[in-house]
Structure 1
């Protein structure tokens, strides 16, 4: 058994910290909890938590780099347009205006999150010369601008704290004789020094950019005064305001909230950060459904469905999306000791020291028919089998990605023709994501038959362009894909009859049928269920199986390891109790009947808890609830509602919309082992 970790050891990068209940008062009890927690993963390697942490870091870093590069590419057009607007704010102005306008750039970012503004600031900084920057940037937040004096001070000191010349020397101010830090003339004096230094060295005079974060939270009266004061100093002070809005672009919060007198002194340019399900679709396609990238861990269909649902219904933020991906990776490597095999296999000397780990791995690889043969194999054979399973899994996933790319090529071709090749619905928000998730489940027949039917009905004039599109895809595909299937396309192209052929119509119709049959068979061959492969859960986590296992056998995830036969129903958590009653119901569940079946279990729990039982003196006879029956009934109702909402959040029930007191069961064929 591993020793108790030394939490003061700075050389360690990861520790296993078990849960400890608030009632544990003695060090002896805490030590017992720690030993039991380590025993629950006794099939782990020595230092397995550290090895899994390193495997997680490697897998997540690879995925994160790809995700961030996709997000930067999606944001790049808007970022470049804003940077160009900043550069030309005081050079591209309208002549003949009665007074100069204060350049104001509004950025509508309903999804929120700092990722876009980090990219924008980095782009502004990267375009600057280190010695002579073309822009000085400062940031204002609502808490710093509670009144006009505080707001002006934050704005001015954000610039004046920077050195104005190449010598990087800062002004020495005398508080008795200097201007107040909230006086706009102080910024004027500082910028005069900057202008003189730039003219002396014959370089461009910089702009002053102020970024207003969470603009809806600013006091409008304070910002009106700040805008009015700053507008009186331009163009002597080349100020530019970048306004960060979390509301929709239309109607603009700026136009709705601020009076015409304030808007008249602003020259507003509006920009919109792309967001929505099409952004999520593009991110998922370029990360998990493309042959150009192969992540170490594949997000499974259940996890992807949850991510799509959460993104579309609750929080369409790219930062929260990255957090969900990271949590999925972290959870996978945290709870499964075998997950360290996702990318590499440990050496023989390391495996030979952990019989329980090897025994668990052996049990996952062999079947009842092959068990006797596996017992006779040496340890190197087991390592080779793990490596082969990893390669086979990635090869099958790669085939699924090829199938998805071909489906998208065919879909885009028919979309240009105006044909409906996909049944659009709101089950997953977008049909393309629904198809991608179905392919991970190994379900391609329905979508393949739809596309094959459309191919068979192609007009004669559309067959050659369709073959050219497929030929272009295989021409740009990797060699292992191109060499196998490009010859089929070449064969179809060579089989195109001449228009003066007497049997032109019949041959073209038969060719369209042959192409449709080939497409159907090819897609069915590419898409196979991942769950049929050995060790598939190491690379493609089964979130649904983990959730159901946790609900049915929650005691196995507890620190207090107990024989499953000794666990009574009343000892389970409320959600597990309600889920057990859920499995006993039909497709339509009456909520009141569900509550009536839940309440007796809590009554039993109450009696058993109040009665004498074995345990420590401190816990013996401890009351969980008071004697007030009314309070107890309210507590039972509250616990039922909480458990019901948890099952609802996990997706196990669906509201009918017709019967307020009924819900629909969504999970079937659950084996209670």
Structure 2
């Protein structure tokens, strides 16, 4: 745009109206990605795969909670029946001091409790009562706030409101609610007087599924965090109105049920009729999740040994949170599809074959750069190597075959892994680990049969375990192995399953117990013939020598054959995944990215941000040499770098003078303006020092009034 005018003037050019472009998740997925080819297809594949995984985890969570929720509902039904049986006033007085209370011990994985309480509230509202209220300690600092939260949320359950005077309490504004037991009992009596309580209290709920005179359930999600005075007052108030309406308390406990008696005196805890409920251990829950997501060939995406170990270590040593483990799995999935261009082939085998045929020349070159594929090419004949490196059509055919081999490897790997764990779990001291995830990590790391732990485990199987195991126990292990292989979809293991069934039939038909019994009786008769000590010792030594060099029985020979057969299956099918060609397509092994996102290091991040602000702000003006303080840096960065040059005690006057020198150099002002800016610089310095104190780098000290103490050491 230009203007032609002989006179001076001001020209206004209105910008063209542009519609704001909305960015989708797929756009963010491909934005900033150097390997943007097939990014849309990779994003769709990632979304579809995560949707399937999320569905599996939700089903698993529902199955694990079903037993706990059913037992809670049975307890509620029993307490509700006790309320309905109170016919006389005398019975009401006898029961009035007992408030039904369910102590729900969920474990120290506090971050997973919200999901459990959400599912519990939904089940109770669908099957038991519409009056379910969940409370947190931060919402209830006093008894007044607790009662107001309780009554407000109970009123919110009543959707279909009439204009009659008797139902006026249900439409009162929360700011005008009178927090009293009389008000609560009158409201409950008015609401339950309706014939169709399901329609009036919850939309979409079936009236027949709610109980008659449904109880009011109050859930204390974090019972340990509630103030003792608040709990005491609420329990005393609740015990006074038990004959008016049914009330049930649910305490969410993370530590131990004894916390109830530590927080409440005996006079108050005696008013509670406590029933203990224990949820599934977080370790057992993790084992179920790993079995469902990782130890299966259902999902093509796999975690490498180091990545899986990082997620397990975070779980065991940080939070015990299964949900955080699943989020880490999701992050690994997203990072794999975002960073690896060949992850477009990480899908079902039939779909992967179609995508291989449509690979571009650049994608073919990406395949040739893979370490596993180069190892495969080097093992081929020279003429075959030339064709694979130059001909894309031949490469695609080979890739299809290799992907089929990789899918077959997974179908065979997991059943054999479970069979090996069935044998190893019966060994003393668990040389290959007690959990199957430990055995899986050992198999991913290296050839497990070449480790000392595996050799010691085989020795235990041969010389200790099988001599100690009864025939029934050995038969049970073999039956479990046959069931594992039969339930898998591995067609290549049919012969192995038949072989195990043959061994199983031989064990069932064997009469080793009778032979051992006859041998024992004969030995006892020989010992009883000798009465003196000399002949007795001689006979025992002869029996010991004869057992050392005696020929193995048929039963023992059969046990040795079973061990050899299991060992051959391990060597054939439990090869490490890194030895498989094209394993990079399905396995995510980048642990650095995972650690940066999941293993928080706040001190390092703070030091990097304050010492080198360019690392985060990406402003060219902030670039500086090592050891220099940039003039254009934020105030807190200048104050931080200056405080690194001080000792344990920092003189505030000297610190301010140094700070002012840097600021004046940045402003490039003369002495007159410098005097006018002293107040502004002083205020900026105070703010920077306050921020450093808030971050924990310095603190006030009583040794010298004009000094502050430094809380860090070194340069970080």
Q: Work out whether residues 302 and 588 of structure 2, in 8 Å CA contact, stay in contact via their aligned partners in 1.
A: yes
* Distance verdict in 2 for CA 1:309–1:348, change over 3 Å: closer
Distance of 2:122 and 2:456 partners within structure 1: 47
Whether 1:394 and 2:407 are equivalent positions in the alignment is: yes
The residue number in structure 1 matching 2:179 is: 182
Alpha-carbon displacement from aligned partner over 1:321-356 (angstroms, at most 9, x marks no partner) = 22111111122122212212201449679956x543
Local SS of the residue matching 1:295: coil
Match of 2:487 among 441, 458, 477: 477
* Distance verdict in 2 for CA 1:424–1:549, change over 3 Å: closer
Whether 1:263 and 2:263 are equivalent positions in the alignment is: no
The residue number in structure 2 matching 1:216 is: 224
The residue number in structure 1 matching 2:310 is: 306
What is the Cα deviation at residue 535 of structure 1?
A: 2.0
Local SS of the residue matching 2:81: coil
* Distance verdict in 2 for CA 1:108–1:469, change over 3 Å: closer
Whether 1:196 and 2:202 are equivalent positions in the alignment is: no
Whether 1:538 and 2:606 are equivalent positions in the alignment is: no
What is the Cα deviation at residue 400 of structure 1?
A: 2.4
Q: Work out whether residues 106 and 268 of structure 1, in 8 Å CA contact, stay in contact via their aligned partners in 2.
A: yes
Q: Work out whether residues 288 and 298 of structure 1, in 8 Å CA contact, stay in contact via their aligned partners in 2.
A: yes
What is the Cα deviation at residue 179 of structure 1?
A: 8.3
Pairing of 1:427-442 with structure 2 (within 5 A)? 431-442=435-446
The residue number in structure 2 matching 1:57 is: 47
Pairing of 1:424-503 with structure 2 (within 5 A)? 431-445=435-449, 446=451, 448-457=454-463, 458-459=466-467, 462-463=470-471, 465-467=473-475, 469-475=477-483, 476-478=486-488, 480=491, 483-493=494-504
Query: Is the deviation greater in 334-343 or in 496-505?
Result: 496-505
Distance of 2:324 and 2:505 partners within structure 1: 51
Q: Work out whether residues 160 and 187 of structure 1, in 8 Å CA contact, stay in contact via their aligned partners in 2.
A: no
* Distance verdict in 2 for CA 1:236–1:467, change over 3 Å: same
Whether 1:358 and 2:364 are equivalent positions in the alignment is: yes
Distance of 2:61 and 2:193 partners within structure 1: 40
* Distance verdict in 2 for CA 1:460–1:137, change over 3 Å: closer
Pairing of 1:75-90 with structure 2 (within 5 A)? 75-90=65-80
What is the Cα deviation at residue 166 of structure 1?
A: 10
What is the Cα deviation at residue 360 of structure 1?
A: 1.6
The residue number in structure 2 matching 1:121 is: 121
What is the Cα deviation at residue 82 of structure 1?
A: 1.5
* Distance verdict in 2 for CA 1:100–1:424, change over 3 Å: farther
Distance of 2:642 and 2:249 partners within structure 1: 62
Whether 1:318 and 2:322 are equivalent positions in the alignment is: yes
Alpha-carbon displacement from aligned partner over 1:195-217 (angstroms, at most 9, x marks no partner) = 32249999711111111222233
Pairing of 1:42-53 with structure 2 (within 5 A)? 43-45=35-37, 48-53=38-43
The residue number in structure 2 matching 1:667 is: none
The residue number in structure 2 matching 1:105 is: 102
The residue number in structure 1 matching 2:607 is: none
Query: Is the deviation greater in 401-410 or in 162-171?
Result: 162-171
Distance of 2:488 and 2:559 partners within structure 1: 26
The residue number in structure 2 matching 1:377 is: 391
Distance of 1:237 and 1:139 partners within structure 2: 18
* Distance verdict in 2 for CA 1:228–1:327, change over 3 Å: same
Local SS of the residue matching 1:15: helix
If the length of structure 1 is used for normalisation, what is the TM-score? Answer: 0.68
Alpha-carbon displacement from aligned partner over 1:22-75 (angstroms, at most 9, x marks no partner) = xxxxxxxxxxxx8xx45xx1x431xx3332221211222222222333333333
Alpha-carbon displacement from aligned partner over 1:155-194 (angstroms, at most 9, x marks no partner) = 1121123238798999445869x98432222221221123
Q: Work out whether residues 402 and 526 of structure 1, in 8 Å CA contact, stay in contact via their aligned partners in 2.
A: no
What is the Cα deviation at residue 406 of structure 1?
A: 0.5
In structure 2, the gaps of 5 or more residues are 1-17, 86-90, 198-206, 520-549, 598-611, 616-622, 649-716
Distance of 1:168 and 1:271 partners within structure 2: 43
Local SS of the residue matching 2:28: coil
Q: Work out whether residues 479 and 504 of structure 2, in 8 Å CA contact, stay in contact via their aligned partners in 1.
A: no
The residue number in structure 1 matching 2:569 is: 522
Distance of 2:417 and 2:307 partners within structure 1: 19
Aligned-residue RMSD, C-alpha: 4.3
Q: Work out whether residues 302 and 586 of structure 2, in 8 Å CA contact, stay in contact via their aligned partners in 1.
A: yes
The residue number in structure 2 matching 1:13 is: 25
Query: Is the deviation greater in 102-111 or in 298-307?
Result: 102-111
Q: Work out whether residues 304 and 444 of structure 2, in 8 Å CA contact, stay in contact via their aligned partners in 1.
A: yes
Local SS of the residue matching 2:79: coil
Q: Work out whether residues 393 and 530 of structure 1, in 8 Å CA contact, stay in contact via their aligned partners in 2.
A: no
Q: Work out whether residues 139 and 211 of structure 1, in 8 Å CA contact, stay in contact via their aligned partners in 2.
A: yes
Q: Work out whether residues 220 and 257 of structure 1, in 8 Å CA contact, stay in contact via their aligned partners in 2.
A: yes
Local SS of the residue matching 2:303: coil
Q: Work out whether residues 342 and 390 of structure 1, in 8 Å CA contact, stay in contact via their aligned partners in 2.
A: no
The residue number in structure 2 matching 1:639 is: none
Local SS of the residue matching 1:631: coil
Q: Work out whether residues 400 and 527 of structure 1, in 8 Å CA contact, stay in contact via their aligned partners in 2.
A: yes
What is the Cα deviation at residue 316 of structure 1?
A: 0.4
Pairing of 1:533-612 with structure 2 (within 5 A)? 533-544=580-591
Whether 1:226 and 2:234 are equivalent positions in the alignment is: yes
* Distance verdict in 2 for CA 1:382–1:235, change over 3 Å: farther
* Larger relative helix fraction: 2
Whether 1:249 and 2:256 are equivalent positions in the alignment is: yes
The residue number in structure 1 matching 2:666 is: none
The residue number in structure 2 matching 1:148 is: 143
Local SS of the residue matching 1:314: helix
Distance of 1:164 and 1:491 partners within structure 2: 67
Q: Work out whether residues 464 and 493 of structure 1, in 8 Å CA contact, stay in contact via their aligned partners in 2.
A: no
Distance of 2:561 and 2:368 partners within structure 1: 46
Q: Work out whether residues 413 and 574 of structure 2, in 8 Å CA contact, stay in contact via their aligned partners in 1.
A: yes
Distance of 2:267 and 2:27 partners within structure 1: 60
Alpha-carbon displacement from aligned partner over 1:80-118 (angstroms, at most 9, x marks no partner) = 212221222232589894644111222222211212112
Q: Work out whether residues 13 and 50 of structure 1, in 8 Å CA contact, stay in contact via their aligned partners in 2.
A: no
What is the Cα deviation at residue 494 of structure 1?
A: 5.9
Say which one has the larger Rg.
Answer: 2
What is the Cα deviation at residue 405 of structure 1?
A: 0.9
Distance of 1:326 and 1:455 partners within structure 2: 39
The residue number in structure 1 matching 2:157 is: 162
* Distance verdict in 2 for CA 1:162–1:220, change over 3 Å: same
